[in-house]
Amino acid sequence: MTLRAVPLLEVARRRGYSSVAGSFVLESLDQKVVHVFGDSHSRVFALIRRKTKSTRISITTVRGASARGISNASSESCAREIFLTSISQIPATQEVAIQLGEVDCGSLIWRIQDRTGHSLNDLYTESLGRLQKFVGELDRRPVILCGTTPPTVWDYTKFSGDSNPRFGLTASWSERAEITRRWNRDLEHWCSVHGHVFLDVASFTWKPLGEYLLPEYLPESASDHHLRVDSFASSLAAGPLPDALSRCNEFRRTNAR
């Protein structure tokens, strides 16, 4: 099995932050460290990194990684092996954030339902459960669990951009959006019960009732299925990410007493 390449600069950044010397220097400078592991939507953290001076961020992105596949050591993406190997080297005092689930909610469970006839609810529950089990295996608290980004493509029967494998998907935008909202609600609740921190990456991108995305978050290109990265990064850096880090700090203070 060949591991998908992670950019050498990101590997060096993660190792430098995680080293004994790096950890000591960053702590002495009162710098927070967040190591992000996720699918292609985690690329937004590269822009967030430029917007904050108090937080160092390393990013390990595996394109196409899914919550469903994270339990499979032989998955095509190799995400499980990449993530586990890297996370095992990170000090307990530094934060780990995981962003998975968009592939599941936006495509994968619908494809499997079409192919097998299995219940969508069962497939949803299995994908979410696999992510939760993976986080439990890490034996770290807290882990920052990012919610799932909302769908941006209205009709995949007319789309052939960077998500070409999704071409022809018949699940409507509303159906995919509802699964996304359900995922985020369930994940947030699970985090509160199991001592983890939920990072909301979606609620600010919707109209109040979630019936459609705000225009500033729509992709710049019709061939892209990711949220518009500049607006997305600015919004995350302005509130949700600092809030998640603050809750991590509070968790550590409370449990150190």
Chain centre distance of CA 2: 23
Higher pLDDT pick, 207 / 38: 38
Instruction: Give the span between the Cα atoms of 254 and 257, in whole angstroms.
Output: 6
What confidence score (pLDDT) does residue 202 get?
95
Q: What percent of the chain has pLDDT over 90?
A: 74
pLDDT band at 77 (very low <50, low <70, confident <90, very high): confident
pTM for this entry: 0.93
What confidence score (pLDDT) does residue 211 get?
74
Average pLDDT, the chain: 91
Contact criterion met (CB below 8 Å) for 51 and 233: yes
Domain range summary for the chain, segments of one domain joined by +: 8-256
pLDDT band at 160 (very low <50, low <70, confident <90, very high): low
| CA-to-CA separations, 153 to 59, 146, 156, 159, 212, in angstroms, rounded | 25, 21, 7, 8, 11
Higher pLDDT pick, 123 / 256: 123
Chain centre distance of CA 93: 20
Contact criterion met (CB below 8 Å) for 47 and 229: yes
Would you say domain 8-256 falls under CATH 3.90.190.20?
Answer: no
Residues 111-139: b if buried by 16+ CB within 10 A, e if exposed = ebbeeeeeeeeebbebbbebbbebbeebe
How do residues 101-156 score in pLDDT, each as one tens digit? 999 999 999 999 999 999 999 999 999 999 999 999 998 999 999 999 999 988 88
How do residues 238-254 score in pLDDT, each as one tens digit? 999 999 999 999 998 88
Angle at the Cα of 128 (from 62 to 154), degrees rounded to 5? 70
CA-based end-to-end distance of the chain: 45
pLDDT band at 4 (very low <50, low <70, confident <90, very high): low
What confidence score (pLDDT) does residue 1 get?
34
